[in-house]
Structure 1
Amino acid sequence: MKKTDSGRLFAFLLAVLAVEAGLAMWRGQLLVGKHEGDMLHLLEIVFRMADGEWPHVDFMTPIGFMAFAPIALFVKLGAGVGHAILYGQALVGLCLVPLAWRAGVSRLTGYWPYLFGAVIIVLATALVHGQAERSVSISMHYNRWAWAAAFVAILIATLPPVEDRRNQTADGIVVGLALAFMALCKVTYFAAFIIPVAVGLLAHRQYRTFLLALATGLAVAAIVTAFAGVGYWAAYVGDLLRVSASQVRSNPGEPFAAVVAAPAYLGGSIVLLMGVILLRQAGKATEGMVLLLLTPGFFYVTFQNFGNDPQWLLLLGILLFAARPAQDVKNGFGWDMSMAVGLAGAAAFAMIVPSAMNLAYSPIRHLGQDAAQHTPLLPGATLHSDLQTGTVRAMRVDKRVPMDEPGSGLEALAEKAGREPPVVLNGEELPRCEILLGLPALFDGIATSLEESGHGGEGIFIADLFSSIWLFGDFARLEHGAPWYYGGLPGYEMADYVLVPNCPVHPKVRELVLERISERGDSLVEVDRTPLYILLQKG
């Protein structure tokens, strides 16, 4: 197969980046259609970082700082957060261009480097996390970025270099940077793929690549330590351990067994395992072995990601087509192994087409959004009004309540269904309900109420999933707080008051927070009450 013109490939990747990022920025604002809670989580972290705080050290999160640093950079430079998100994505895409170029030109031939590079850029600049749902969303952008880095490192480790394109120094730097980014963006990816990547490099006798990747990773770690301090790493590990033991969200989707063998995923699992078998039968033992080692990591990362989208199928298709043997190679059954491996690759592509197309044309879909149907996510932040969400989702506050409450006529069903008893606060049963929609309006209403009752400027710990009240009013930001609750009482020590919502976003979190406070022996004295919340002072 014809070798790729390296200069043409680099220009192509820049063109794809210009188109994808340019289309996303065309409107001059970011209009999202779902995941408002995730957006509040993102904004709290970005604003904290723009003010000089470090994740893990100054606030709790299992997500690494590189997931937010590109966005925080542009906020610090004065951009509205909607623009900052789009600029941050473009910056990540630009940084990935040389990595994708080196991986593609050194391991692939023909048109495959172009497809591979385009996939990397699309993952960096898309305006949806994947799947086939058509709403625009920036939620979980770090999963896309981490997949892009993982694809680069895995491609270099799995396939041998193309003749006359060997450069172990360049390969080592690229792999080291990709692995370092995974570790500092979402460590799940690093943990899942570090061993297969290392084994792949050693199996292909890429010893210098292995050593330079290690040195590059250590150099990045040293730079981070110089800026964040030695305690950064202990704090990072501490956050990861707390999240892994979380009763709230240790994993955000299907059980692990379902991600491997449920009807929606079984086809991809079979294609992956068949790819391993076919490669080994085709005489590609090293590629087959590395692919087998990658299998648990592919499954685990999918299990850890919301939506359980098996985006590794994109890479699997490219790997299988690139690793096809010569056409005269046959297995014990007489099969043409080039065709067999190619068919497996085609099957992998077919299964991921809906998600891949959704990612690729999401910037175009963003152009078609009706601005009149959107409203700023942060109503009082003029600078950041360039980030907007659907008006209905922002302003219509909906809740879910059980119908088998006392007096409903269905009381007998509650016990049979195993419904948990209501949460009790100071001897009073709290309402059983759950917020489904309208988080921006809810937080804005609570913030306004608190300020009108004279609690502006106070540090308020919220017994719920989010602690985003300071984004909507003049309230102190809690030191060592958690933008997303995973467990414990992060930020509680610095709080003046505890706010218990009458209807929380996550009822289990409200229950856990009150249990933890009770275990400490702290008393909570009610100082204010509205239809939305009970405000208590720590005793």
Structure 2
Amino acid sequence: MSFAIVQLGLALCLLPALVWVGVSRLGPVGAVFFGVSILAIATSMVGGQTDTSSSISVHYNRWAWAIGLTGLALAVLMPRKPSSGARMFEGAAIGVIMAVLALLKVTFFLGFTVPVVVGLLLHKNNKGLGVAIFAGLGVVAATTLVMGVTFWGAYFDDLIRVATSKNRPFPGESLMSLLTAPQYLATSIVAFMACVTLRQSDQGKAAFLLLICLPGFYYITFQNFGNDPIWLIFLMVFLMANRPDRDMRNAMGWSMRGAAAIITGAAFAIVAPIYLNVLTSSLHHYAVNTASYAPFLPIVAEDIQTANIRSQSVSTLQRVDGGASGLEGFVSEPLEKEPRMLGGIVFPECQNQTGVVATVHAISGAISQIIPAKGGALYVADVVSAHWIEAGMMPAKGSAPWYYGGLPGFENAEYLLVPKCPALLSVRNAMLAEIQAHENVLLTPLDETPLYGFFRIDVLDVEKSSKNEVEREQKS
């Protein structure tokens, strides 16, 4: 209920700007379509795609699309009757929106900055651009006042760490696939033809603005899980706002008004499954079969639930031993020549395929019984690290719930948990390699089960130890 109320609050915040876009730039059909679409994206109960299962996962992507496309409409759609007061209001709204995007998900900020700035300049809205800059700086100042100056250094450090991480450079298809793969090629053709149609209807400025929007659209889609081309909704609205005159024809005699209508219909046909899923998600959520879901954190909270395939159905992936099975020469090489060992415990080449939640719950329940670890700072050698929540422990200061590289926060940890069948094997092995490289860390095994190894972390005084060793050698 809290989550639904927050989304409703976001929709209400966007409503004035959406109404203004509709009144000042669009006809009745375009205004209603754009407004309903943005509000549906903001309040949806699915992350997108075509799976009707209710999910609040990656909600920040939806919110960023709703917020960003609203600001983009104010910047690149030409108002019918520009006025000084309206331009200042639009500039303030755009500035706040861009600052929010920079804090919510910087991918959207990077993708929308160029078309927003160019749109304001081409529409000769210099006053709006100035107000937007001051409004954005106001949000930065307010954030600094609340969070402190050190927040920005930490935030930029996180951005750099994620951008340079080899663990997950992008969450889905490659950028080249989004441009040329059969599944996405129709989207590229529609986008290209929309620009051509506007150019051939003597709307060079509109064609140019749409063209410079495309790199940002593709970059954002490339960086978002699911690779949903939500931006096709904006392309449709853009064509509605710049619909060619009835008598406009190109050199071949084709009606540009008819071409724009065909392209708009084609864009809707491509995005329709995702769009209709988003639009009807609240109805699906209301009628969902709760028997197919279970609490995400049974001990801590009953209200956040996850699909049974994550919570109750556990399966693992393990490499086949070619020599033992008669498949010599046909199976993949092991990731490492020797099994990874730590503190005398062997960690096999195994990866959790489904049931990650159930595994985390079982491990958390087990380590919660280790009395010395109660309330201690826990570090987990895996891509996810939510075990501390149910284990009665604390996260290591400086660590993160998702792994992107390095050992952030390890120096503040008191205990180390190493799953024997992690959610991502490559991450666990990379973390263990870095942990083993620490010369001043002593790991004492406290518990071992078929699911995990659990260690106490002791930091050694290397300088003192070296001095003592030198003194012993001198005495001998």
Q: Structure 2-normalised TM-score?
A: 0.91
From 324, 335, 343, the counterpart of 1:407 = 324
1:425 partnered with 2:344: no
Q: For structure 1, which segment, 164-173 or 216-225, has the greater mean C-alpha deviation from structure 2 after superposition?
A: 164-173
Question: Are 1:526 and 1:537, in contact at CA under 8 Å, matched by a contact in 2?
Answer: yes
The 1-side partners of 2:121 and 2:12 are apart by: 29
Q: Quick one: distance in 1 between partners of 2:244 and 2:83?
A: 20
Alignment partner of 1:452: what SS? Answer: coil
Q: 2:206 aligns with which of 287, 294, 297?
A: 287
Secondary structure of 1:287's partner?
helix
Following superposition, the deviation at residue 446 of structure 1 comes to 1.0
For residues 192-271 of structure 1, the aligned pairs below 5 Å read: 192-271=111-190
The reply to whether residue 343 of structure 1 matches residue 262 of structure 2 is yes
The SS at the match of 1:399 is strand
Of 366, 385, 389, 2:306 maps to 389
Q: Note if 1:320 corresponds to 2:239.
A: yes
Task: Look up the equivalent residue of 2:273 and give its one-letter code.
Answer: P
Task: Please give the root-mean-square deviation of Cα atoms over the aligned residues, in Å.
Answer: 1.8
How far apart, in 1, do the equivalents of 2:16 and 2:127 lie? 20
Kindly provide the amino acid, as one letter, of the partner of residue 168 in structure 2. R
1:150 and 2:68 are equivalent in the alignment: yes
Determine if contact 1:423/1:511 at 8 Å carries over to the other structure. Answer: no
SS of 1:434's equivalent in the other structure is: strand
1:439 to 356, 364, 367: 356
Residue 218 (structure 2) aligns with: 299
The answer to whether residue 113 in structure 2 is matched with residue 113 in structure 1 is: no
**Matched residue type, 1:349:** F
Q: How far apart, CA to CA, are the structure 2 residues paired with 1:120 and 1:405?
A: 54
Q: CA deviation at 1:456?
A: 2.2
SS across alignment from 2:268? helix
Using CA pairs below 8 Å that are at least 6 residues apart, which structure has the higher relative contact order?
Answer: 1
Contact map agreement 2:167 2:405 (CA 8 A) in 1: yes
Deviations 1:293-314 (A, max 9, x none): 1111111111001111111111
User: CA 1:428–1:441 in 2, change beyond 3 Å: closer, same or farther?
Assistant: closer
- Amino acid of the residue matched to residue 40 of structure 2? V
User: Counterparts of 2:388 and 2:322 in 1: how far apart (Å)?
Assistant: 34
1:363 to 256, 262, 282: 282
Q: Report the CA distance shift for 1:413/1:513 in structure 2 as closer, same or farther (over 3 A).
A: same
Deviation at 1:408, TM superposition (A): 3.1
| Cα distance change on mapping 1:435 and 1:351 into 2, 3 Å | same
What amino acid sits opposite 1:484 in the alignment? W
Offset at residue 99 of structure 1 (A): 2.1
Select 2:7's aligned residue among 70, 80, 89: 89
> Which residue, out of 174, 179, 183, partners 2:93?
174
**2:44 aligned residue (118, 126, 150):** 126
Q: Which amino acid is 1:339 matched to?
A: G
Distance 1:102 1:173 in 2: 13
Aligned pair 1:536/2:455, yes or no? yes
Amino acid at match of 2:81: E
Amino acid at match of 1:424: R
Which residue pairs with 2:435 in the alignment?
Answer: 517
The Cα of 1:316 is off from its aligned counterpart by 0.7
- CA gap of 1:335–1:302, structure 2 versus 1, over 3 A, is same
User: What TM-score results when the alignment is normalised by the length of structure 1?
Assistant: 0.81
| Alpha-carbon shift at residue 535 of structure 1 (Å) | 1.2
Structure 1 residue 523: deviation in Å?
4.3
Unpaired stretches in structure 2, ≥5 consecutive residues: 459-476
Q: Answer yes or no: is the 8 Å Cα contact 2:319–2:334 preserved in 1.
A: no
1:425 maps to a residue whose letter is M
- 1:140 paired residue number: 58
SS of the residue corresponding to residue 319 of structure 2 reads coil
Shift of 1:507: 0.5
- Aligned partner letter, 1:396: S
Matched to 2:52, the amino acid is: R
2:165 partner letter = S
Q: Secondary structure at the match of 2:69?
A: helix
Q: Identity over the aligned pairs, expressed in percent?
A: 38
Q: 3-state SS of the aligned residue for 1:413?
A: coil
1:515 is matched by which residue type in structure 2?
A: A
Amino acid at match of 2:220: V
* Residues 399 and 435, structure 1, Cα contact 8 Å, conserved in 2: yes
SS at match of 1:131: coil
8 Å contact kept, 2:340–2:348: no
Paired residues, what number? 453
Which residue number corresponds to residue 461 of structure 2?
A: none
User: What is the Cα deviation at residue 488 of structure 1?
Assistant: 1.0
SS in structure 2 at match of 1:486: coil
CA distance in 2, matches of 1:279, 1:156: 19
Query: Which whole-Å deviations, capped at 9, do the CAs of 1:439-493 have from their partners, x for residues lacking one?
Result: 2321221122112232322222110011101221210222111011111112211
**Rounded Cα–Cα distance in structure 1 between residues aligned with 2:362 and 2:322:** 27
Tell me the SS of whatever aligns to 2:103: helix
Q: Which residue of 2 aligns with 1:70?
A: none
One-letter amino acid of the counterpart of residue 115, structure 2: P
Task: Kindly indicate whether the alpha-carbon contact (under 8 Å) linking 1:480 and 1:491 is maintained by their aligned counterparts in 2.
Answer: yes
